[in-house]
Amino acid sequence: MTPPGERERVPGANLMVVLTATMAVGPLLTHSLSAMSPLVIQDLRLTEAQFGLLATVTFFVAAVTAVRTGRWADRLGARTLLAVMFGGAVLAMLLAAVAPDYTVLLLAMVLSGLGQVMANPATNRLIRLHVPAHRRASWLGIKQAGVQAAQLVAGLTFPALGLLLGWRTAVAVAAGAVLLLLVHGWLTVPENHAGDRSAPRSRRAPDPGAGSGAALASRWNPASGPAAVSGTASASGSAAVSGTASAPGPAAVSGTASASGPAAVSRTTSASGAAPGPGAAPVPRAVPGSGPGPGSRTGSSSPDRSGRTGGRPPMPGVVRAYAAAAALTGLGAQAANVYLPLYAHRELGLDVVAAGATVSVAALVGIASRVLWARVMDRPGADGFVLLAGMALGAAVSAGLLVLAPLHPALAWAVWPAAVLHGGAALAVSVIVMSGAMRAVPAERVGASTGVVTMGLYAGFCSGPLVMGLLLQLTGSFAVGWILVLVCYLACGLLAVLVRRRSRLRTGPAAGTPSVDPRR
């Protein structure tokens, strides 16, 4: 069943093209400069650390603005968002193409970060509004593959274009292509109903089949089933949620409650009146005589846990856990995206075109892996943290191969399986964390939850190239940097295992997707 305010109409191919292009154009400048890194470094006479700072600046700007722009994505119209994202990408590319020195190139990267930060919240919002619930994870995987599509195009075309025309002309050509995509998107994108408040917040239901995410959302949105929500309420439906309630239905949930139906439930009950499932977050226990419990909604504007009156509820802890996993894997993934061609050129002796092909291989595998993992996430009972643990292990093997490859000329081939594992594991993590963030909240908070995860992702993205560049400049070798990447991947796997273990201890072995208390 589609939640109120969401369209029943099945989306078409034009929407998929727009979503994929939106994800691709933002990082295209970063990927193009990475693919042509030997040419850019030689032309501007940069150090390795200075080159890494280009990507760091982009992702730092995106990280510090992600949460606020995620909220804007919930309010602004789709065409306005397209103009900001595509227009920002074009301006950044043109500025980079004419940059006389390193300082102006840094400014171009700032514009690139501002232009691409809304991509995830805006596209996730459009998916939530226009794609049926059972197809959302698959759509999310395909549109997330747009990032790797940009990386694939950059790795295949920009090294050759840079050698033939110069790296500046190659970037200018890309700006023209982005303008054409903007025109197509403007003419075909469906509106995302900016500022739509057609359904009251308390009546909006979370994503059907969202597992623990829906349970967490219903904790803060208790009227997701037939219910009466007020200061003093009486209901004949399946549940009454209030400060003082009386209900002849199956269950009454309240601070002080009486029920004439088959059962009176005042300790732990789901918002729909039924006992919570194994993956659901329990409703806080109400103390008789103490008034409304912390999980109830009343007619008065009582302050929330943060002391605000009528303020937004805190983001569920499962979203913060996904954000932490995104930060750890993002550091390693972006360090490899930025420095893998330079590493292959300097450490392994590959020419510029062959070195650029390493990221193309990773991108090609990344496209397929994002679609595949998204379909896995579509399956009932799919556990995001179990998938994260396996993907972190695969990414760690990739980093280990990059450490070993330069040790002997006979091991240089290891860069290719490392690129395959990088694309199959590290580059697909964003599908899992974004899908999990979408599941964990109701529709009107998708932009905000995506913004939190995006902030974690970009925090890792901006740290990876900077740290790798500094370590390379200090040690003269990539080995220490790849070891750090390996440690980050292992830490992500450990985080996933701990979150899953904590969930099983709290909810039992039959639980589905982990449930994390939003108060912690």
What gap in Å lies between CA 434 and CA 453, rounded to an integer?
A: 7
pLDDT over threshold 70, residue 520: no
> Is residue 255 included in any domain, yes or no?
no
Q: Do both 44 and 185 map to the same domain?
A: yes
Q: Is residue 132 within 8 Å of 2, Cβ to Cβ?
A: yes
CATH number of the domain within which 41 lies:
1.20.1250.20
pLDDT tens digit sequence for 245-263: 333 443 333 333 333 343 3
pLDDT, mean over the chain: 74
Partnered with residue 228 across adjacent β-strands are: 240
Q: Please give the tally of structural domains in the chain.
A: 2
Q: Reply yes or no on whether the pLDDT at 169 is more than 90.
A: yes
Mean pLDDT of 230-237: 37
Q: For residue range 101-158, what is the model confidence (pLDDT) as tens digits?
A: 999 999 999 999 887 878 878 888 888 778 887 777 778 778 877 888 888 888 889 9
Residue 338 has pLDDT above 80, yes or no: yes
The pLDDT of residue 239? 37
In a domain, 227, yes or no: no
Residue 189 confidence (pLDDT): 76
CA distance 182 to 357: 28
Q: Identify the CA nearest to 88 among candidates 117, 51, 122, 59.
A: 117
Domain assignment of residue 162, yes or no: yes
Same domain, 38 and 185: yes
Domain edge (last residue) among 126, 157, 191: 191
Pairing of strands 227-234, 239-247: parallel
Residue that finishes a domain, picked among 154, 176, 191: 191
Identify the domain boundary among 144, 163, 191: 191
The DSSP symbol for 270 reads: -
Residue 17, in any domain of the structure: yes
Report if pTM > 0.85: no
Residue 353 has pLDDT above 60, yes or no: yes
**Torsion sign across C-alpha atoms 295, 296, 299, 302:** negative
Does 327 lie in the same domain as 181?
A: no
Dihedral sign computed on CA atoms, order 4, 437, 77, 86? negative
Rounded average pLDDT over 475-483: 92
* Residue 295 domain flag: no
Q: Are residues 187 and 336 in the same domain?
A: no
pLDDT at 7: 42
Judge whether 216 lies within some domain. no
State the average pLDDT over residues 436-449: 72
Supply the DSSP symbol for 233: E
301 — pLDDT class (breaks 50, 70, 90): very low
Please check whether residues 185 and 322 belong to one and the same domain.
Answer: no
Residue 512: per-residue pLDDT = 44
Q: Which domain holds residue 367?
A: 316-506
Please report the pLDDT score of residue 438 as a whole number. Answer: 76
Q: Report yes or no on 119 lying in a domain.
A: yes
- Whether 1 is in a domain gets the answer no
